[in-house]
Structure 1
């Protein structure tokens, strides 16, 4: 009888664990426009490190197509102008191009604010 209760209890616990694992969601990381702007500004002023830049450019932003377009542009700038140095991760030309990305992001944000 004890073996039967142990087996039944073990089966219930195992089934509960399987059910919980099936209903768990994988964590998602979403960069919103404010986060994108903050990291971009930190890179421009030389306060960002390589890992912050990798987080910014490493995740596709399917939730915001205009932001994804800017991310892809940042990747193009990285290919041409990235130095990985300290404190500035980019050449002067790269930083200037990133300032242009920042201006377009601010303009897009202000357009969204006006639409609301």
Structure 2
């Protein structure tokens, strides 16, 4: 089925399913990063900042997965669209935090 023949409901559902999978994966990566920073034992200021930002990003990704889950389960289209916008905003915020933490970690290593 081509993209032009998809209904808006199908497109919304496919987008949410892809975002759900990606959010769960990235939450796991953030948690792994936090664990790795604690295991290495670098307790510098930049390491702590990266640690905190990754933890917050993981939390935002997990909240995003809940918003997506409820958007997929609801039968009300308006609520689903609102939850999808919330999930998009949470995902973008968490991804931005994850990238920022990556820059801080690279700066720390450098």
TM-score bracket, normalised by the shorter chain, equals 0.3 to 0.5
Q: What TM-score results when the alignment is normalised by the length of structure 2?
A: 0.38
Q: What TM-score results when the alignment is normalised by the length of structure 1?
A: 0.37
- Structure with the largest fraction of helix: 2
Report 1 or 2 for greater relative contact order, CA contacts < 8 Å, sequence distance ≥ 6: 2
